[in-house]
A = this chain, B = another copy of it.
Amino acid sequence: MGTGQLATLIMQGFDGPVYPIHPTEKTVLGLKAYARIEDVPDVPDMVVMVLPTGIVPGLLANCGKAGVRAAVVTSGGFREVGGDGFALERELTAVAREYDIAMIGPNCIGVSNFNIGLNTTYYPYEQEEGGVTVISQSGTYSCHIYGHTRRMGIRLSHTASVGNSAIIDLAECLEYFADEPTTRAIALYIEGIADGARFVEAAKRACANKPVVSLYVGGTEAGARAGMSHTGAMAGDDAIYDGMLRQCGIQRATSIEEMLDWCWALSTQPRSPGNRLCVLSNAGGPGASMADTASREGLEVPVLSEGLQAKLREHLPYTGTGVNPIDITFLLDYKALYDTIPRLLMESGEVDGIVMYGVFGTLLFRSRQKALEGRIDYDVEALVPMYMALIEGFAKLSSEYGKPVLVSSFWGRDDDALAYLTDIGVPVYPSPERAVKAFAALTRAQISGS
């Protein structure tokens, strides 16, 4: 475990000095190892401890004596296992207090700060840094999610796995990330909160600065049972947590995927000035799904004015419709699709943002050209500059007009246009419904948040 975490730190490209400590090995992963913290020729800014439970408090004390003031304690076997674990955790906490060590854990995977290539988890994160910070009572949800976020193109700023929260807890993390400038949205995974009053205070302050989305899993008997054995968290009634989160201004998601979906939009797009959604699609099914989902989410899909519809019709084929949803059907005029029509909508004042289905780059054309070599006479490469120029303009619409633009597609980052959009901060959701739900999160964030 410790070797894996060190491997990640190296792979992540952290450029500060790293000192492995090992009782017998002379080197670990090619780095000179030290037998004891006392032997390290420097006072580390932080230690990461992956050790048998019983010896953790004593060795943390040694770190404290050596001047260390921050620690990640990965080791488990404390409060979460019951029995002797309670006493061991009290002992550990007393050591951290005595030496004024900002300790995260025990029973946690630690912290990541992608601005400086710091990642104490088991998994490297292969993506440029972004604006989503994850604060989690689950270590998994602070690092296994890299597989998901990387595939989607969601960019993270920090992750913090608080484990048993002996010293640093969710509330303290909220306080910190409320002011941390690269964090634009906070995802908060909750199994249970010990000090409700302190949490509410921190959460209200955080929500005044930036949007916070939570997943709370302790509101059912089975969920509470799981949390108890996981981090020793005391869960509570679902309705009480629901009300508390709402009072704080925290949006509540129903899954880890949804929490990250919403944070993706909240960290990249302007808040929607209202709840009037324009559904723009070149495919009828996704258009209908998006309209239906929007209604269920309390969004308005307003019928556009006759004047605006007339303007839109100038750019639509006769099979298309400009009522809203706008169904472009089959249209090879990419300028209309990515530029003229969205601008007419943005300038109309009739809608507060756009969710679009129908962005395709050259993935299909490339595969077709390759498969049918000699049979077809077009050259995909020749189309790319024109096409990408339109996509680049499309990506800027949200900042230009101050209204969100979200996209959905069944294709992913293997398509050049979709990869470009996610890289530049236009979320591309893997289903029409998820894009609309994320739009709804943007409208709800108006009441608080920046």
Does A353 interact with chain B (Cβ within 8 Å)? no
A431 touches which of B257, B284, B367 (Cβ 8 Å): B257
Closest Cβ of chain B: how far from A135's Cβ, in Å?
12
Contacts of A319 in B (CB 8 A): 76-77, 80-81, 107
Contact A296 B220 (CB under 8 A): yes
How distant is the Cα of A434 from the Cα of B77 in the complex, in angstroms? Answer: 30
A76 touches which of B227, B329, B364 (Cβ 8 Å): B329
Contact B288 A433 (CB under 8 A): no
Closest Cβ of chain B: how far from A436's Cβ, in Å?
10
How distant is the Cα of A325 from the Cα of B136 in the complex, in angstroms? Answer: 19
A:133-163 near B, CB below 8 Å? 136-141, 144-148, 151
Tally A residues with Cβ within 8 Å of B. 89
Does A411 interact with chain B (Cβ within 8 Å)? yes
Contact B295 A372 (CB under 8 A): no
Does A237 interact with chain B (Cβ within 8 Å)? no
Contact B321 A229 (CB under 8 A): yes
Contacts of A58 in B (CB 8 A): none
Contacts of A221 in B (CB 8 A): 295
Does A307 interact with chain B (Cβ within 8 Å)? no
A226 touches which of B124, B288, B296 (Cβ 8 Å): B288
Question: How many copies of this chain sit in the oligomeric assembly?
Answer: 2
Contacts of A1 in B (CB 8 A): 330
Q: Given A376-B29, A430-B148, A433-B257, does the pair A292, B220 have CB atoms closer than 8 Å?
A: yes
Interface centre among A76, A137, A223 (most CB of B within 10 A): A223
Contact A223 B291 (CB under 8 A): yes
How distant is the Cα of A301 from the Cα of B364 in the complex, in angstroms? Answer: 44
Contact B256 A364 (CB under 8 A): no
Contact B412 A284 (CB under 8 A): no
Q: Which residues of A come within 8 Å of B, CB atoms?
A: 1, 4, 7, 10-11, 29-30, 76-77, 80-81, 107, 122-124, 136-141, 144-148, 151, 189, 191, 215, 217-223, 225-227, 229-231, 254-257, 279, 283-296, 301, 303, 318-319, 321, 323, 325, 327, 329-330, 364, 367-368, 371-372, 374-376, 409-412, 430-434
Q: List 19 A-B contacts (CB under 8 A).
A: A7-B372, A10-B375, A76-B319, A80-B319, A81-B319, A124-B371, A141-B286, A144-B286, A144-B410, A219-B292, A222-B292, A222-B295, A227-B284, A229-B284, A255-B289, A255-B434, A256-B289, A257-B430, A257-B433
Q: Using A139-B283, A140-B286, A223-B289 as known contacts, list a sample of 18 further A-B pairs with CB atoms less than 8 Å apart, ordered by residue number in A.
A: A7-B371, A7-B372, A11-B371, A76-B329, A81-B318, A81-B319, A144-B410, A146-B410, A147-B412, A151-B412, A220-B295, A222-B292, A225-B323, A226-B290, A231-B284, A255-B434, A256-B431, A256-B432
